[in-house]
Structure 1
Amino acid sequence: MKTLTTWALAATLALGGAAQAHEFGFAGILSSSNKGEMPGITLSVGKPLAEGPITLKSGMVYELEIEADGTGELALEGPGFFRAIWVNEVVVNGLEIRPFGLESLEFDEAGVMEIEFVAIKPGRFFLRIPGSDGESQRVDIAIE
């Protein structure tokens, strides 16, 4: 019994030491030291979604703020992009939703949605208003 207790104590100390040596903070990958900046997206009839292309870094946490001004029922799709990220939470009117994944989203009226995610898969993706073909109704996103 004494040997088993000694081994358990040694394993606990070894694991505790390894956890302290990790480069991320207490909250792991979602810690504030691992957050990147991302410009917001505006859904408005006849206006561009965002300024130019967006570049993200794989492994970083981002918060995407999407604001709809209510000028029309507008959706946003980007299945390739949504499959290349891990969604931590979606916040709508203070309600936190933790979905398994996203394919698209839609605003029926004015409002703000925040999506906190970790960029995972490197590549080139897009978010766009479904059915539109104008360059301003699409934003290109690269994950490096």
Structure 2
Amino acid sequence: MKRMTMIAALLAAAMPLAALADGDDDGANGKLGLAGLLSAQNRETLPKLTLSAGAPLAEKPMTLKSGKYYKLTIEADGSQELALEGPGFFRAVWVNEIVIEGIEVRPLGVDSLEFDEAGEAEISFVAVKPGSYHLKVPGTTGDLQTVAITIE
């Protein structure tokens, strides 16, 4: 009897997900395609963040939507060894992958990224937990080296 109850509970939990994956890949009425959260109509590319000595990290704060899939490119110009940290932000998102020079890393958790020289990293993630967060260059206090991120 326990086994039947567990199977029934699993099926009931899976039904809403199955409804989203109905094969309708046109994005109409807010439906997602077979890839669910990772489907093309749920993706958005964010403005690039630039790590450079004395330059602003971002042009303006970012507002994200919970459940949406994002791609964020971080570029370091090599002017200085710089890192980008945001443990609160990285715990509020599900990181799908980090791509560095064509190498895909699928981490269980991220605290920061450090660039010893010029280069680029692309992070793809799903925003999950609503709140206010930030990414910043560690050890800095100025607004130029911080980007505020709100997940709605």
In the alignment, structure 1 segments of 5+ residues that lack a partner are: 1-10
Equivalence for 1:20: 22
Deviations 1:71-114 (A, max 9, x none): 01000000110000000000000010000010011000000000
Equivalence for 2:55: 47
Equivalence for 1:63: 71
One-letter identity of the residue aligned with 2:147: V
Shift in alpha-carbon separation, 1:110–1:21, aligned structure 2, 3 A: closer
Distance 2:23 2:69 in 1: 21
Deviations 1:106-127 (A, max 9, x none): 0000000000000000000000
Where do 1:1-144 residues align within 5 Å? 18=19, 19-20=21-22, 23-144=31-152
Distance 1:37 1:143 in 2: 15
Superposed displacement of residue 24, structure 1: 1.3
Cα RMSD for the two superposed structures: 1.7
In the alignment, structure 2 segments of 5+ residues that lack a partner are: 1-10, 25-30
Deviations 1:16-73 (A, max 9, x none): x844278211211100011123111000000000011110010000001000000010
Q: TM-score, normalised by structure 2?
A: 0.81
% identical aligned pairs: 59
One-letter identity of the residue aligned with 1:108: D
Q: TM-score, normalised by structure 1?
A: 0.85
Question: After TM superposition, where is structure 1 displaced by more than 6 Å over at least 4 residues in a row?
Answer: none
Q: Secondary structure at the match of 1:118?
A: strand
Q: Secondary structure at the match of 2:36?
A: coil
Distance 2:68 2:132 in 1: 16
Equivalence for 2:3: none
